[in-house]
A and B are shown apart, each in its own frame.
Chain A
Amino acid sequence: DAKTTQPPSMDCAEGRAANLPCNHSTISGNEYVYWYRQIHSQGPQYIIHGLKNNETNEMASLIITEDRKSSTLILPHATLRDTAVYYCIVRVATNAGGTSYGKLTFGQGTILTVHP
């Protein structure tokens, strides 16, 4: 799996958009970009993933550059409950058979602190 680089920490004011960057310059053509987060003392939580198009769901938006070497996770209106460690992970989504049992390789992530 390709390596990712994220800033160690970021701050964001409550109600503002939080933009978390991730570099993955060695990403392969069949590798997806995944974002997970881990709120203190809880298990990691899936946020979103994408291949090359921008993606949006109820939690966040994912913007992937055209060359796919970097991406940004956007939390449009951050709340205090969004304070967590955010992990950007690159990996193949499924194996040849269509099922998915690939491991997630977690880096150090970005500690996002949302303050009032």
Chain B
Amino acid sequence: DTAVSQTPKYLVTQMGNDKSIKCEQNLGHDTMYWYKQDSKKFLKIMFSYNNKELIINETVPNRFSPKSPDKAHLNLHINSLELGDSAVYFCASSLRAEQFFGPGTRLTVL
């Protein structure tokens, strides 16, 4: 009965590779988000989708491309991974005021 799930939980990869992180929510929410938490623990919004439409696109390199095939899914694809992309990536969803977060995906780029 997981509300917001992410796969994989851990991702270790080499620089230059392309990888994807998947997110699914079973809460029936209209809005989904991607946040990045860096090594200093700062949490920052990256993207937000509402009903499969991109709403928020913060200053993120265009190597990052979110894709929302339907309201319940928001995937994050990252091209040409760099060392600085190492972080924990959190997916979240919301219907009204409260945002529900997933468990996070720890990405390590070697």
Contact = CB atoms under 8 A, between A and B. Distances in A.
B48 A100 contact: no
B13 interface: no
A43 B102 contact: yes
Interface in B47-100: 48, 50, 55-56, 58, 90, 92, 94-100
A85 interface: yes
Interface size bracket, A side:
20 to 34
User: Secondary structure at chain A's binding surface: helix, strand, loop or mixed?
Assistant: loop
Interface string A34-49: 1010100111111001
B44 A106 contact: yes
B: interface residue count bin:
20 to 34
A46 B96 contact: no
Contacts of B99: 36, 44, 46, 104
B97 A49 contact: yes
B96 A101 contact: no
Given A34-B97, A93-B96, A101-B94, 15 more contacts: A41-B104, A43-B101, A43-B102, A43-B104, A44-B90, A45-B101, A85-B41, A99-B96, A100-B96, A103-B33, A103-B56, A104-B99, A105-B45, A106-B42, A106-B44
Interface of B: 4, 30-31, 33, 35, 41-45, 48, 50, 55-56, 58, 90, 92, 94-104
20 contacts: A36-B99, A41-B104, A43-B4, A43-B101, A43-B102, A43-B104, A44-B90, A44-B92, A44-B99, A45-B101, A49-B98, A99-B31, A99-B50, A99-B95, A100-B96, A100-B97, A101-B30, A103-B58, A104-B35, A106-B44
Interface of A: 32, 34, 36, 38, 41-46, 49, 85, 93-94, 98-101, 103-106, 108
